[in-house]
Amino acid sequence: NKSLIGPDQKEYHRELERNYTKLREALFPLINRKIPQLYRPLPLPTTPTQR
């Protein structure tokens, strides 16, 4: 994408990259947080013959 950016758009693109980096850093703790409930084994689905 960088090759498609004209000289007048370079500063705008740099600002987008800076903002993306800030957003990624701000969301990092949420994205990488381990939620114990997500790591429990799932219960097996019951079928009508198991009742």
* Structure confidence by residue, pLDDT tens digits, 4-48: 778 778 888 899 999 999 999 999 988 888 877 777 888 888 877
Torsion of CA 20, 23, 25, 26, to 10 degrees: 180
Q: Residue 45 carries which side chain, given as an amino acid letter?
A: P
In-domain check, residue 17: yes
What is the structure's pLDDT at 10? 87
In-domain check, residue 35: yes
In-domain check, residue 15: yes
In-domain check, residue 47: no
What is the structure's pLDDT at 16? 94
Structure token pair of residue 25 = 């850093």
Residues 6+ apart with CB under 8 A from 13: 2, 5
What is the structure's pLDDT at 30? 86
In-domain check, residue 29: yes
| Structural domain harbouring 18 | 9-40
In three-state secondary structure terms, 39 is helix
Of residues 17 and 1, more confidently modeled? 17
Number of domains in the chain: 1
In-domain check, residue 14: yes
